[in-house]
Amino acid sequence: MNRFQTTLDTVVSFTGVGLHLGKETTITFKPAPPDTGYVFVRTDVESRPMIKVCVENVRMIEEQARRTTLGENYFEVHTVEHVLSALYGLEIDNAIIEIDSDEPPEPAGGSVSSFAALLKNAGVATLNRHPRKIFKITEPVSLEYFGATLTVVPYSGLRVSFTIDYDIATIGTQYLSLDITPESFAQEIAPARTFCLYRDVKALQEKGLIKGGTLDNAVVIGDDGIMNDKPLRFPDEFVRHKILDLIGDLSLLGFRLEGHVISAKSGHASNVQFVKKITNVYKGSMSKTEKHLSDRKWDIQDVMRLLPHRYPFLLVDKVLECDPGKRIVGLKNVTINEPYFQGHFPGSPIMPGVLVVEAMAQVGGLMLFDNVDDPSKWLVYFGGIDKVRFRKPILPGDQVKFELEMISSRGRLCRMRGIARVDERVAAEAELTAMLVERT
């Protein structure tokens, strides 16, 4: 998963007919600044009202089980799940979505493959120095809602496992479990079409829905099987489309979810209730997660994801502060178990000066990694160490705070000033010149 937020590179538009309300509509996707999320703009209204995509703006209406509707003040936008699924599934974090009606168009093919292709053609731009809002599940959350069950458990990445069970032989019981990445979404989920039972069509029409539904943009299942001329795109196309809908509803979190979502028989109503429950259970944690990188601490796991160093040469335990491209503060706890104390003045152990500078350099390197999209592809090489001064010995039991400030930077080359403090007293200082070098 990209470490930084993303948006679109260019503006793209799509015109078609809305699935439920049957109106011809043009939708336009535009780049958006960091931390915007997804925002719909109703261009058919003179005031151009904006509707932010969040769970608080979901309008719970009678036919909610068939679509997801958002609203702010007096204005609404209906059937947003397919648009949101395309954006969220492709890991596009920020977008302005202009629409000249109250419902997005439904692609003629009945799936979101057209949206996915459109967004890919627009290109994805990485918003460097703006860390992605990732919400990591640490404790399971479960929901039972009118026959549907949903659970999310800790997982590295986003995985969805979904089970459907219909009393009609053409669908029956289907199950699929899949890691959701932009590649898997585009290939395995986006092509799956909307579907409904023919016996439900009349009831939906009486509610003023599926006015734009045809056998070209939806799979209709009758008593004798599929009524469409075209065959299924996957043997389990129905459960794949349910995953597609769920991904769209998960975007209501406002974060990239990191966890394994396990669903049985869920639809839009239960999906929305599940998002609300996750939000309520993790309310304090989500507030903390939403903070900019400069406002939160990196633990040792974060450090190890960025630095290539490992024991005994990993000399950073934690990052306390980071103002990308300007300043970083890291921490090193010195213990008597450090391997160098066996040979470096074992009777009077002192942390070697070269390792103090090395630890300082590693903290500075973390600030440089914040400028690239994939740190695993880069190394930090130091080209110069100047003005080194050792003011105070660093001993076992000391906690060393390394403070580095950027003096100048040009491209991938930079110069930093570093200070090592113990109990707020300066123990060492130096100026470091470093460069990011791509791994070969």
Query: How does 377-407 read in b/e, with b if 16+ C-beta sit within 10 Å?
Result: ebbbeeeebeebebeebbeeebebbbbbebe
- Whole-number Cα distances in Å, 190 to 117, 183, 235, 244: 10, 10, 15, 7
- Both tokens of residue 48? 């151009």
- Both tokens of residue 287? 């507030």
**Cβ contact 215:108 at 8 Å:** no
Alpha helices in 74-122 (DSSP H): 81-89, 113-122
- Both tokens of residue 36? 């915007």
How far apart CA 70 and CA 55 sit, in angstroms, is: 9
Q: How many CA atoms lie within 13 A of 113 on its CB side?
A: 15
- Read off the amino acid at residue 385: I
- In the residue annotation, 344 being an active-site residue is answered as yes
Helix, strand, coil percentages in the chain from 3-state DSSP, rounded to 5: 25, 35, 40
Alpha helices in 96-208 (DSSP H): 113-122, 182-184, 198-206
- Both tokens of residue 265? 């028989």
Q: H/E/C letters for each residue in 167-189?
A: CCCCCCEEEEEEECCHHHHHHHH
Catalytic residue among 82, 260, 268, 292: 268
How far apart CA 104 and CA 15 sit, in angstroms, is: 9
**DSSP string over 365-384:** HHHHHTTSS-GGGEEEEEEE
**DSSP string over 217-278:** TSEEEETTEE--SSPPSSTTHHHHHHHHHHHHHHGGGSSEEEEEEEEES--HHHHHHHHHHH
**Cβ contact 116:186 at 8 Å:** yes
Picking from 122, 86, 90, the residue whose alpha carbon sits closest to that of residue 104 is: 86
- Give the catalytic positions in this structure: 268, 344
